[in-house]
A and B are shown apart, each in its own frame.
Chain A
Amino acid sequence: MRVDVRAPYKVRVRQALGDDGLRIALDRATEQMSGRCAEAMAAVDAPRLRDEARRIREHAIEHLPELLEALERNLTANGCQVHWARDAEEARQTVLNIARQHQVRQVVKSKSMLTEEIRLNQALERAAINVVETDLGEYIIQLAGEPPSHIITPIIHKRIEDVSELLQRELGVPPTNDPADICATARRELRREFLRADMGISGCNFAIAETGTICIITNEGNGRMVTSMPRLYVALAGIEKVVPRVEDALLLWQVASRSATGQDVSVYFTLSSGPRRPGHPDGPRRCSPRTSPLPKSCRLPARSALPVAMPARSRSTFPACCSICATMWYSERPLPCSSASPCERTRRPWSGLDATGSQHAWRAGSLGSSPEERTVRSRGCHRR
């Protein structure tokens, strides 16, 4: 890996363009992912599915204030405390305050692009709170001290040899070229973290207004651990994550799974509606009957301005965008799958950039780019 992820953007692009291995790895991975997604979408009534997904998102955006109020009401009724934040700073402060109030020293996190965007880990670490990323890929890049390069496969840029070398250095484990060994190492290390953590933090794929429910999608099971093992659970949700009903979340989950990884559905879909109730053996708990109940907090939102800045279309960071749009920008191939229809509508503005070199530049650029840079690009994908 010849790309210095800490170098300025243009330097990284130049380095990455000179790295043939990297280019081939990314081409293969993104081709493979696109193929799987295309198959999964072809297996269902894709046009109708996209259309329904878009209608749900549009509806939610049109009714955002009412839905957010309903969500807050139901989360509160479920025993959650809801916090609102106008910007990244306020969001970070809120999480820090919760952590301090509950003497939190150890945090386990499920992958969340929102927390990447607001640089939450850095803020917690500055406050001497230990944060461990628990998604396998995120765990590995955290050990490497790098940012993720893709929203579903964060180490898409790393070969297994790179990972093995990293684990040898950081954890003193023997070298391997079998992903199962790496997986076993991570399971062992992270199991300990799950069992001793004071607080779990996750993002939110969907927030169901009618029931006050936070939904998260995972394949590994770390999302279940984070929402079940620690005594305190904090979910961070952008305001655009709200949907009216349970049925909407289940439809969007199926779209997301097909579009992201080509699965019918992800292995786990976790729907949390507050702290454990009396008599439940596990799950986040009320801290004490006398203090205000704060077993779970839902922060809303980091980007209050975002949905209204959008052309009333569904903003979606479904991962297909990462794998697909880059290709779409520079080629005439049809979109093999769709996480949200805006991609189809908005790809034209980018077709001016058609040099092959630019395609690789984009991919190279996604490596180790700062969250801000990534965000700009992923939003650009939905801009008219």
Chain B
Amino acid sequence: MNRPAADARHEILERLRRSLGSRGSVSGRQGDHAVGPAVPMTVTHAEGDRRTLATQFGTKLEQLAGSYEIVDRTAEVPQRLLQRIAEWNSEREPSSTETADSSTLEVLSWAADELPVPGLEEHLRGSGLSLVVPHDLHEAGCRARAASTSVGLTAVDAALASTGSVVLASGPGRSRSASLLPPRHIMLVPMSRIYPTFEAWLRSLRGQARLASLLQQSAQIVFVTGPSRSADIELRLTLGVHGPAAVHAIIFDDDR
């Protein structure tokens, strides 16, 4: 039973080659495995100027039980963020599993220099709100603290208008936990990072030869489209199963 493991690889590949070889190439194409078939189609569509795309992104997100607001100037973002958290604090927790703090004082966040709003941290601190930026989630203390926060804050690498999706790449100062552990997630979305579709975003990264390095250096990228959901019980929709039940986008014109 204990066959040498090293043989498995050889045996599997040999078997595949034999079978494929004896059957011949189905389509007649040969040797183009690195290229792959033609560039895939664009599945969903969106077009227009940055404002139009921002609205479409937000509308899509709203249809998926997320929420959004569009802010004219970058400088207004901190105030809007505080307002959003204050509103949430006055509501009931979206998931009854979290201890119902009377108010959120700590936000599980990406590092300040990863957030596209200058001076955000100082502004929040002035209002009694501190950013918790985890350094190592494998450390028990760090993990426990991260797990007890009720709001997460991140930027986005890209937002896609046609589906209401965002791309989050992990990295130093960019924890996966901030968009995953707390029951509520706020995303800061500069208009300059909104693309019409997945395919437009892919084309842009390919064009700059950055796609492979983004995936590999990030260790993980995740596409997030609305709040965590399940329909496992009688196909009835429930939000916030493991990820956040509330996802809110603050979209702002970063040219202003």
A333: chain B residues at CB < 8 Å are none
* Chain B positions 220 through 231: 1 when the CB is less than 8 Å from some CB of chain A, otherwise 0: 111111111111
Residues of chain A contacted by B133 (CB below 8 angstroms): 281
> What range describes how many residues of A lie at the interface?
35 or more
Structural contact, A86 and B12, CB atoms closer than 8 A: yes
CA of A280 to CA of B110, assembled, Å: 11
Least distance between B168 CB and chain A CB atoms (Å):
10
Question: Which of A5-13, A114-122, A248-256 interfaces with chain B?
Answer: A248-256
> Is B219 touching A29 in the complex (CB atoms < 8 A)?
no
Whether B97 and A65, one on each chain, are in contact in the complex, defined by CB atoms closer than 8 angstroms, is no
Across the interface, B243 reaches (CB within 8 A) one of A56, A182, A221, namely A221
Q: Give per-residue flags for A262-290: 1 if the beta carbon is below 8 A from chain B beta carbons, else 0.
A: 01111111111111111111110100000
CB <8 Å contact, B36 and A59: yes
Query: CB within 8 A of A269: which of B8, B12, B223?
Result: B223
Separation of A370 and B23 alpha carbons in the complex (Å): 33
Say which residue of A84, A185, A272, A305 sits within 8 Å of B220 (CB atoms). Answer: A272
Q: Which residues of chain A come closer than 8 Å to B138, judged between CB atoms? A: 231, 282, 285
Give the chain A neighbours of B43 by CB distance below 8 A.
44-45, 49, 251, 254
Q: Contact check: which of A67, A84, A136, A254 meets B241 at CB < 8 Å?
A: A136
A267 touches B26 (CB 8 A): no
B154 at the interface (CB under 8 A from A): no
Is B184 interfacial (CB-CB < 8 Å)?
no
Question: Is B19's beta carbon under 8 Å from chain A?
Answer: yes
B141: Cβ under 8 A from any A Cβ: no
Residue-wise interface mask of B (1-42) relative to A, using a CB-CB cutoff of 8 A (1 in contact, 0 not) = 101010011011101110110010111010011111111110
Q: Is A32 an interface residue (CB 8 A)?
A: yes
Contact A222 B241 (CB under 8 A): yes
Q: Is A298 an interface residue (CB 8 A)?
A: no
Whether A187 and B242, one on each chain, are in contact in the complex, defined by CB atoms closer than 8 angstroms, is yes
B233 at the interface (CB under 8 A from A): yes
Report the Cα distance A208→B236, complex, angstroms.
Answer: 33
- A220 adjacent to chain B (CB < 8 Å): yes
Q: Report whether over half of chain B's contact residues are helix, strand or loop; otherwise say mixed.
A: loop
Contact yes or no, B240 A187, CB < 8 A: yes
Residues in chain B near residue A239, CB distance under 8 A:
12, 16
B56 contacts partner chain A, Cβ-Cβ < 8 Å: no
A85-99 contacts to B (CB < 8 Å): 85-86, 89-90, 94
Question: Within 8 Å of chain B (Cβ to Cβ): is A63?
Answer: yes
Interface segment among A199-207, A210-218, A343-351, A361-369: the answer is: A210-218
In the complex the two chains form, is A276's CB within 8 Å of B170's CB? Answer: yes
Q: How far is the CA of A65 from the CA of B20 in the complex (A)?
A: 9
Q: Contact mask A138-172 → B, CB, 8 Å, 1/0?
A: 00100000000000011100111001000000000
Contact of B33 among A63, A86, A221, A270 (CB under 8 A): A63
The answer to whether A179 and B238 have CB atoms under 8 Å apart is yes
Asked whether, in the complex, the Cβ of B26 is within 8 Å of the Cβ of A58, the reply is: yes
Q: How far is the CA of A265 from the CA of B61 in the complex (A)?
A: 12
Cβ A211 vs Cβ B215 within 8 A? yes
Contacts of A379 in B (CB 8 A): none
Contact with A along B88-115 (1 / 0, CB 8 A): 0000000111000000000000000000
Given contacts A49-B41, A225-B180, A248-B36, A62 and B29 within 8 Å (CB-CB): yes
Residue B209, interface by CB 8 Å: no
With contacts A187-B242, A251-B40 taken as known, whether A281 is within 8 angstroms of B136 at the C-beta atoms is: yes
Task: Please report the C-alpha to C-alpha distance between residue A90 and residue B1 in the assembled complex, in whole angstroms.
Answer: 9
Q: 1/0 per residue B116-152: CB within 8 Å of A?
A: 0000000000000000011111100001000100000
| Interface: A55 (CB within 8 A) | yes
Query: CB-nearest residue of chain A relative to B213?
Result: A211
Does B19 lie within 8 Å of A308, measured CB to CB? yes
Check if B79 is an interface residue, CB within 8 A of chain A: no
B232 at interface by CB-CB < 8 Å = yes
B248 at the interface (CB under 8 A from A): no
Which residues does chain A contribute within 8 Å of B221, judged by CB atoms? 271
- In the complex formed, the residue of B with least CB distance to A258 is B43
A267 close to B176 (CB less than 8 A): no
Interchain CB contact under 8 A, A48 and B41: yes
Q: How far is the CB of A150 from chain B (nearest CB, A)?
A: 10
**What are 30 A-to-B residue pairs whose CB atoms are below 8 Å?**
A52-B41, A67-B33, A83-B5, A84-B12, A89-B1, A90-B8, A182-B238, A183-B238, A183-B241, A195-B147, A220-B242, A243-B36, A244-B36, A246-B211, A246-B215, A248-B40, A250-B40, A250-B199, A251-B41, A267-B225, A267-B226, A270-B220, A280-B219, A281-B133, A281-B134, A281-B135, A301-B12, A308-B16, A308-B19, A312-B23
Q: CB within 8 Å of A: which residues of B? A: 1, 3, 5, 8-9, 11-13, 15-17, 19-20, 23, 25-27, 29, 32-41, 43-44, 64, 95-97, 133-138, 143, 147, 162-163, 165, 170-177, 180, 198-199, 202, 211-212, 215-236, 238, 240-243
Q: Assuming A44-B43, A68-B13, A267-B243, what are 12 further A-B pairs, CB within 8 angstroms?
A: A90-B5, A211-B211, A220-B229, A220-B243, A247-B36, A248-B40, A263-B225, A267-B227, A279-B172, A280-B171, A281-B174, A282-B177
